[in-house]
């Protein structure tokens, strides 16, 4: 009985030693890198002013009427999405939430939810969003794999690179 207790103590000691000595050496903080993966060129409609919210921010909706995705992901943007914005003219911030669907060449529909912030104070320009992707499959299965799984297994950031006539182009990077 005493040898079992001694064995248990030795094993416990080595487990604790591993947690405090070896594990931190295995987990080293590395600076993330960005990899450009694709661009989103969204066609947009006329903005709709929807009044103000309880905090006095302007509510604006911008219809997403189409467009395309090109790069490591190729798709068309389906009409019917929208970019919902809350504009705080006092703090000079614009909170964004765009939701739209894209259709790949093999007929996979992917829902894009892109949230972020735009600061528009004098001498300040900051406009960053974080798109998230949801595969809209007919019957989800834990055994099913698709060529688009990487979209749900990574974190992405994007920034606008072009504002054109009734369109916006966003550059999307994957964080590695």
How many whole angstroms separate alpha carbon 154 and alpha carbon 175?
A: 7
Residue 68: the pLDDT is 98
Reported pTM:
0.81
In a domain, 131, yes or no: yes
In a domain, 67, yes or no: yes
In a domain, 20, yes or no: no
Residue 107: the pLDDT is 92
In a domain, 140, yes or no: yes
Number of structural domains found in the chain? 1
Q: Is 98 helix (H, G, I), strand (E, B) or coil?
A: strand
In a domain, 104, yes or no: yes
Q: Is 22 helix (H, G, I), strand (E, B) or coil?
A: helix
Residue 57 DSSP class = P
Q: What is the mean pLDDT of residues 109-116?
A: 98
In a domain, 62, yes or no: yes
Residue 122: the pLDDT is 85
Residue 29: the pLDDT is 75
Segment 117-154, tens digit of pLDDT? 999 888 888 999 999 999 997 655 666 788 999 999 99
Q: Show the domain range for 54.
A: 34-175
Question: Given the structure tokens 């040898």, which residue do they identify?
Answer: 3
Residue 17: the pLDDT is 53
Who has greater pLDDT, 22 or 40? 40
How many whole angstroms separate alpha carbon 10 and alpha carbon 25?
A: 22
Instruction: Report which of 116, 78, 84 is spatially closest to residue 98, judged by C-alpha positions.
Output: 84
In a domain, 23, yes or no: no
Segment 47-106, tens digit of pLDDT? 999 999 999 999 999 999 999 999 999 999 999 999 999 999 999 999 999 999 999 999
How many whole angstroms separate alpha carbon 152 and alpha carbon 171?
A: 18
In a domain, 59, yes or no: yes
CATH number at residue 157: 2.40.160.20
């Amino acid at each position: 009985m005493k040898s079992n207790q001694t064995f248990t103590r030795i094993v416990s000691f080595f487990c604790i030693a591993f947690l405090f000595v070896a594990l931190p050496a295995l987990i080293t903080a590395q600076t993330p890198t960005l990899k450009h993966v694709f661009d989103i060129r969204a066609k947009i409609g006329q903005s709709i002013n929807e009044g103000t919210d309880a905090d006095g921010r302007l509510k604006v909706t911008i219809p997403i009427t189409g467009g395309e995705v090109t790069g490591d992901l190729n798709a068309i943007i389906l009409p019917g999405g929208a970019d919902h914005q809350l504009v705080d003219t006092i703090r000079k911030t614009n909170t964004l939430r765009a939701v739209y669907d894209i259709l790949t060449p093999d007929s996979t529909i992917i829902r894009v939810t892109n949230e972020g912030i735009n600061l528009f104070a004098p001498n300040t320009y900051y406009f960053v969003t974080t798109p998230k992707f949801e595969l809209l499959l007919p019957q989800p299965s834990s055994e099913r794999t698709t060529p688009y799984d990487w979209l749900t297994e990574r974190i992405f950031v994007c920034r606008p690179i072009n504002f054109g006539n009734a369109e916006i182009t966003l550059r999307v990077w994957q964080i590695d």
